Structure 1
């Protein structure tokens, strides 16, 4: 039944390739147009959100809502001046003129710096505004709260323009005291712009690195540019259509800026993977038909009958495999939608959309392009006619031989399967050990590279203006200040608390600022403080927020529904693999090997990014932990990709086993026929993910690196060694299923 569906799809595409290509050209163009220009000038990157992940309805989210509802202050813009002696009278005189100009800007509410205070730099109130090393000062401009958004943006831009001119004005007015003056300007808007701009730059960087290298690998795999260009065309269509789908999702969900890169790189990798499998199988079927001799019935068909028949057979085999593979990936990523955090729901929805687009291009656009090329893919391309390259391409592009590198590797594994099993498990367990010490955190400005002006501003502020830093933990207490202060006195006795600010009234509530020892808002110590503070009995409602509180709520939200997600993904994957193979043993084995592979990749991620190894090589500064949602994303994506390659391999082994080959021979030949595709696809997707490691945003680096490592481990240690070893040891038991289940599977006709 299922085979007939894909065969029929292949025939339809073979008859109407131009229409299929035209539809995808339109969809791709519309997708890119929506992402870049959007609706009414508001494109995708104008609609994405930034900031720490939040959990709707959590205590930290409720505290943030109360604070936002009662915040009557306007937007702020801050200037940090360095290389200046703040006590110099010439500097004070110059800043008097600067302050007058800032106050004169319509829409500015207040201007605060040491020079507006009665005692100037010597005033006690000026201490938080003067650098501890005496080498600079701060100026804070607050805008009026009644400004319309467009007017507020215009006023902010004018203030920033004036701020940027201050260092040169000081250097001119006081060359001895401010000759080396420099300035850093910061605001919430500038931080958001910095993150979204970095996301765009990283996306461009990743594609510039990934696409050319991926094309080169496919040229080696296929022996020419023509065949290699087809999966690449599918990838470009997936990127364009995927960005358009993400734009549409921004009207339904809050889509974080980093989601754009994560989902785009997934769509890029999967579309190339699936296109690679389809094109490779088409060339194999084409060679098989040509070698068997042209059937007169085929020649009588309109156009290239042999190519059309090869396309129908390709869709009935590789098309079915691609559909099964995409289903397993979609289920794995769709499982993220079970969780409460917005960022996981948006990644799940976006990932699901992009997976569907990737499989759609592989099952429609790529076959349509194959229908156009016909028999030409059976002949060597221009590169294959170059004497020096011909022998290389004969090996890398071979789709006909049953003997080769992978069959010989499988033969060696099958001679010592138990030792290979023990060795690979030991290696994977050793790689996984660092995950036992994992610490997750929600980072903010630390996600930006150290060279970013906004990151530099925050680092300088923490180093030279510690007294101006706000509390790491905030508690919103329902009721009056007196009751809140009595509770705050108890908080001072909590381990890890450095000091507690006096309770401040807030329209029916009171706010208590809690400073953590060490000053790291996302450290394990801060997390411990949050849990201990929440455990205190205040006699009324208390909502605790801050970076550590957000981390605690995020992890608690994951814990609430993790078993629902695991149950859905594991159950659906088991059913799909059973329907494909007719075995209840293979799905269990696949799940166990994938768990080992996942643990190993997470262990490497912790060793590199949390423990700080390879900082110089990869260009990042460790924040002492892994981003909370990165762990969830890596588990979902890596599991899906692992099942992707599992389906590629099992489809071939099952096909051979059903054709009458003994188990061990089916495993050996199946690895030979699929190994080239698996390793090539893995090499391409590793390149794609590695391309995003060259970006600057830390969360994108972590995701790209972790997924590249996960695919590398899975496609080598697991797929080429562990799986053949276990399938050899299990023998005919691989294909066992209880009688009633086997009859159901056979009745559904889900085999090739």
Structure 2
């Protein structure tokens, strides 16, 4: 397959470029329409008690969606000023006259709508319950625009913020688009500069960037396609964009570096491209598959958010992989002849340095002291991972948003000027006819309930609204949900609300997580075995990767949950992580860690198959792959850092987690822990039971053996056999000693 792809790219490079150019135009032309159809809700679990109860209550409760405007300040800092009062009254009258508006609260006569200090007032708007989606969007926009006109009509010093569920999707979607645009404007030049420093030339540096731009276009197009059949979260645009950009740069970097090495031995550009695809392309193929397998674990969860994220991100990985295996070989065929091999440049120096000397020294250092390195690194990573054991997840509130968003401004106004619990969502209990009246009395008397109310529904049920202490989805609110459910016994009652949705989401994670983990581990083990032909190397890989992932997640918990240094990143300590962050960090970081593992293992395996010396294979593998892994991690850190400039807390958490996971894995783990572990394993690192060895020799994807010249430490230009992908068997080629 790889040989066919490389032949197609080298025989018809212009056609391949035109196809990808078309994808680029369509991706940025149509794919960006996804920004207008994003969903800010991530906690819904179809079929759960909270979701079903919410659907039942919808047609039974009067009124439809609601949103709120906050009016702050005035000429004397008070909303009681006559000009402010007149502007608010005019706006309320106009909004009440809009078709589709059910009711509008008057903050000057309604209870609890004006702050006691006179600095803020609230204008709640409730829509009719029978509106179509199109009519709802129209009336929400018209009403919000009219309320925003209070500020210029009253006084330039008046601030108005309008937000709520009907507006939140558009507000966060628009902010997501701004953040993605800003991130790309920051990231692409920074990546280009880093590539210039890595390659020392604009042509070589530009090739990975072209692949990366194609990956971003593919990401947008993929998200747009998925938005036609399922909801796409506002988080998906940023997460999938950063993943698409980062992986494209990673894969292109690996391919270009290998191409320059092949050009040192093979003057013919086309043959060098074929050899590059045969060697580095195999690693890219397996890397893409491993990342996709890691993301496939998200499909197990019944949450539409997690499932759509897994599908969309997995599709983007495939786009990046195809770009590296088709677009880049076509570009190398057309322009690769102008890329000066590193060896030609090094001959201009008086004393050329050995390529990868620093990484070879690191490998030898770890090989000489394997136990000391193993104990020190494992202990250090374990300490960093300790905060994970106290990690909490919540749906979160407007504090996750930057201060310049309307939702955050409304939240700050309410929490600064109104009594605690003013905007806390209630725990809603629908008690069906025939229930024991003592149950209603019991739940209203529970500790942690600040106030309660009840109403009779058209179907004869009773809806009891309990206002919990603390935040809407904090520990006290979720604890209240659990006590209400425990207390009901066999009573016909169901619970919904924000806290109930969080409880159901956590239960869904706990129920589905073992199956997701099992799928990922089995899939990764199978791919790693197909890649290495070893039983112990995949097990060692999974263990070391879990260490780096745990350390990264522990630091994220320490920063954003506990609040240590979160302000330095534009966030704040929230007492919990966003429920979106841990699953995505785990799935994506695990896949990215596999990238670097495969980069290193591919070179170690090449050396071991050529020499049969397990110790030298560790040194040689790290010497030849260390630079690529380090540069790839640096480029990914730049990409993730660019996406952390928006100030949206869940993206900050995901960005920091992925950045740390990449840097820890590519430096401490791959440069120290892996060589130490591989040294201790010795030849056993490539061991497999006889029946598995025969299975791999028959069905495993392998390379034709390279000559010793290809493995010389100095990379000297000696004649070399052509390299192709093949299904090898024990009789087809000489095997290294086992």
TM-score normalised to the size of structure 1? 0.88
1:535-574 matches, within 5 Å, as: 535-537=486-488, 539-574=490-525
Q: Which residue does the alignment assign to 1:298? A: none
Partners of 1:338 and 1:288 in 2: how far apart? Answer: 47
Partners of 1:571 and 1:99 in 2: how far apart? Answer: 60
1:243 and 2:220 aligned: yes
Q: Which residue does the alignment assign to 2:690? A: 739
1:492 and 2:485 aligned: no
1:602 and 2:553 aligned: yes
Instruction: Give the drift of 1:419.
Output: 0.6
Instruction: Give the drift of 1:104.
Output: 4.3
Tell me: CA distance 1:162–1:607, structure 2 relative to 1, closer, same or farther (3 Å): same
Partners of 2:399 and 2:278 in 1: how far apart? Answer: 50
Q: Which residue does the alignment assign to 1:175? A: none
8 Å CA contact 2:427, 2:468 repeated in 1: no
SS of aligned partner of 1:139: strand
Partners of 2:368 and 2:240 in 1: how far apart? Answer: 42
Which of the two has greater helix per residue? Answer: 1
8 Å CA contact 2:618, 2:675 repeated in 1: yes
8 Å CA contact 1:477, 1:540 repeated in 2: no
1:47-196 matches, within 5 Å, as: 47-83=37-73, 85=78, 97-115=90-108, 120=109, 126-145=110-129, 149-171=133-155, 181-196=158-173
Aligned residues between the structures: 700
Partners of 1:468 and 1:741 in 2: how far apart? Answer: 62
Instruction: Give the drift of 1:730.
Output: 1.2
8 Å CA contact 2:377, 2:673 repeated in 1: yes
Instruction: Give the drift of 1:361.
Output: 0.2
Instruction: Give the drift of 1:255.
Output: 1.3
Partners of 2:547 and 2:516 in 1: how far apart? Answer: 19
Partners of 1:96 and 1:640 in 2: how far apart? Answer: 56
Q: Which residue does the alignment assign to 1:22? A: 18
Over the aligned positions, Cα root-mean-square deviation in angstroms equals 2.7
8 Å CA contact 1:500, 1:514 repeated in 2: yes
Instruction: Give the drift of 1:147.
Output: 5.2
Tell me: CA distance 1:15–1:87, structure 2 relative to 1, closer, same or farther (3 Å): closer
Q: Which residue does the alignment assign to 2:536? A: 585
Tell me: CA distance 1:345–1:108, structure 2 relative to 1, closer, same or farther (3 Å): closer
1:5-20 matches, within 5 Å, as: 5-20=1-16
SS of aligned partner of 1:324: helix
Q: Which residue does the alignment assign to 2:29? A: 33
Instruction: Choose from 596, 600, 609 the match for 1:658.
Output: 609
Q: Which residue does the alignment assign to 2:297? A: 335
SS of aligned partner of 2:266: helix
Partners of 1:54 and 1:740 in 2: how far apart? Answer: 47
SS of aligned partner of 2:71: strand
Instruction: Give the drift of 1:148.
Output: 5.2
Instruction: Give the drift of 1:443.
Output: 1.5
8 Å CA contact 2:432, 2:493 repeated in 1: no
- Could you give the per-residue CA deviations for residues 133-191 of structure 1, whole angstroms, max 9, x where no partner exists? 233433334444555554544444443343233345445xxxxxxx9543333343332
Instruction: Give the drift of 1:366.
Output: 0.4
8 Å CA contact 2:427, 2:500 repeated in 1: no
Q: Which residue does the alignment assign to 1:354? A: 316
Q: Which residue does the alignment assign to 1:459? A: 412
Deviates more, 1:540-549 or 1:316-325: 540-549
1:273-284 matches, within 5 Å, as: 273-284=250-261
Tell me: CA distance 1:452–1:391, structure 2 relative to 1, closer, same or farther (3 Å): farther
Instruction: Give the drift of 1:472.
Output: 3.4
Q: Which residue does the alignment assign to 2:370? A: 417
Q: Which residue does the alignment assign to 1:448? A: 401
SS of aligned partner of 1:544: strand
8 Å CA contact 2:263, 2:341 repeated in 1: no
Partners of 1:550 and 1:335 in 2: how far apart? Answer: 22
Partners of 2:326 and 2:340 in 1: how far apart? Answer: 21
Tell me: CA distance 1:228–1:495, structure 2 relative to 1, closer, same or farther (3 Å): same
8 Å CA contact 1:225, 1:381 repeated in 2: no
Q: Which residue does the alignment assign to 2:187? A: 210
Deviates more, 1:461-470 or 1:217-226: 461-470
Partners of 1:97 and 1:640 in 2: how far apart? Answer: 57
- Could you give the per-residue CA deviations for residues 542-570 of structure 1, whole angstroms, max 9, x where no partner exists? 22222222221111111112121111111
Instruction: Give the drift of 1:323.
Output: 0.5
Gaps of 5+ in 1: 37-42, 121-125, 172-178, 291-305
SS of aligned partner of 1:352: helix
8 Å CA contact 1:51, 1:444 repeated in 2: no
1:689-728 matches, within 5 Å, as: 689-728=640-679
Partners of 1:677 and 1:27 in 2: how far apart? Answer: 28
- Could you give the per-residue CA deviations for residues 100-145 of structure 1, whole angstroms, max 9, x where no partner exists? 4444445544332145xxxx5xxxxx33122122334333344445
Instruction: Give the drift of 1:491.
Output: 1.3
